[in-house]
Amino acid sequence: MLNKKSVTDLAVAGKKVLVRCDFNVPMKDGAITNDARIEGALPTIQYLIENGAQVILMSHLGRPKGEAKPEFTLAPVAVRLGEFLKKDVLFADDAEVVGENAKTMVAGMKDGDVLLLQNTRYRKEETKNGEEFAKELASLADLYVNDAFGTAHRAHASNVGVSSLLPSALGFLVKKEIDVMGKTMEAPERPFVAILGGAKVSDKIGVIENLLDKVDTLIIGGGMAYTFFVAKGWSVGNSLLEVEKVELAKSLLEKAEAKGVKLLLPVDNVIATGFSNEAEFKTVASNEIPDGWEGLDIGAASIKLFEAEIANAKTVVWNGPMGVFEMSNFARGTFAVAEALTKTDALTIIGGGDSAAAVIQSGYADKMSHISTGGGASLELFEGKVLPGIDAINEK
């Protein structure tokens, strides 16, 4: 188990503390459409304010690709954050992030002040973990806290780079993600059921392989299931298929059997005449998909089968939708899985991304044990990988 320093292990009073947050919020026409990520960062920020630190925040927003593009400014985040904290949040609007203006503003900070730097991805060096940029960021502060789980699987200047230049610790949000998901992967209460969905097998090969060593049951739904159907010798019509992964799917099915892992695929599917909510659709058994049709959701019998498995579980992790849940005619399987998770007394972990969006959309978010703030990062944890942003933090 990781034994990384937490923000509570640092002596922060009177110190300048640089905090990497995940303020990569969804925006429309310059307005924030969902502020969950800002809210998620509050416990660490509030702790630092209450303990007399000078709090310097940084984050990326979108993909400005190394240029100071105004549509990716963090200015609206500073305003919203100020409303949450009920205090002014200073905003250093420097195109080069650590410019003369930012340096002067930071130098003038008092204990309890909060300042937000401009979008770290205004600098090309950010995503390349450029040493110069990391040094500039580190030069602003005495201590560093990483509280951005969403980028923890990336080695960037604002997470990995600065970690080696300042005494470092994890913030409360990252700590919780690691505690819940890390402990679950190490010592799950059984039966341990993993549910994987989404479009591509190729994105989840490492996850499937790692989970086969850990879970009692692996449920595979969504577009990725059809490559497994072909591995079993069934036709899939126009359904999503990764031909070059069929052999691998075969070997994963064999591996599951050899390890005594129950691998469940959909037994029926909602198929349609095209990739559209207006297309004609019907439900057929998994080995009866006709030519010209494509599978866009799991069917009612599959839902029942998966529900029974979930009801029996003590731990469930879920990543990836069961169908094209963005279209109402093909959303039932995904929402049924979300609902099934509200009815079990198991520890339920939603691995970010589309499954988290589906759970939030269905109104069941409060009923889950843990919804991860990082889709890619949680997948890499399920894959058994070490996340560079966390690995770089000082040990206790």
- Residues lying near ligand AMP in the complex (CB under 6 A): 198-200, 203, 222-223, 240, 295-296, 320-321, 323-324, 326, 353-354
Alpha helical stretches, state H, the chain: 36-50, 75-85, 100-107, 131-138, 162-163, 172-177, 183-186, 205-212, 225-231, 246-259, 300-311, 332-342, 353-362, 375-382, 388-391
Q: What is the signed CA dihedral for 107, 108, 112, 115, rounded to 10 degrees?
A: -70
Closer CB to ligand AMP, residue 340 or residue 393?
340
Q: How far is the CB of 125 from ligand AMP (least distance, A)?
A: 28
Residue closer to ligand AMP by CB (options 158, 378) is 378
Least separation in angstroms between residue 9's CB and ligand AMP is 36
Residue with the shortest CB distance to ligand AMP:
198
Phi, psi of 20, deg, nearest 5: -85, 115
Residue 277, phi then psi, degrees to nearest 5: -70, -15
Which residues does the annotation mark as catalytic?
37, 200, 353, 376
Q: In angstroms, give the least distance from the CB of 389 to ligand AMP.
A: 21
Nearest residue to 158 via CA among 86, 58, 242: 58
Min CB(223)–ligand AMP separation in Å: 3
Cβ closer to ligand AMP: 122 or 325? 325
Residue with tokens 């206790």, as numbered in its chain:
396
CB atoms within 10 A of CB 296: 27
Residue 17, classed as helix, strand or coil, is: strand
Q: Output the smallest distance, CB 269 to ligand AMP, in A.
A: 8
* Cβ nearer to ligand AMP, comparing 323 with 388: 323
Q: Cα dist. 378→19, 198, 373 in Å? A: 21, 15, 8
What are the residues whose beta carbons fall under 8 Å from the beta carbon of 149, sequence distance 6 or more? 22, 173, 174, 177, 372, 373, 374, 377, 378
Q: Which is nearer to ligand AMP, 171 or 198 (CB)?
A: 198
Contact 358, 162 (CB under 8 A): no
Q: How far is the CB of 380 from ligand AMP (least distance, A)?
A: 14
Residue 97 or 357 with smaller CB distance to ligand AMP: 357
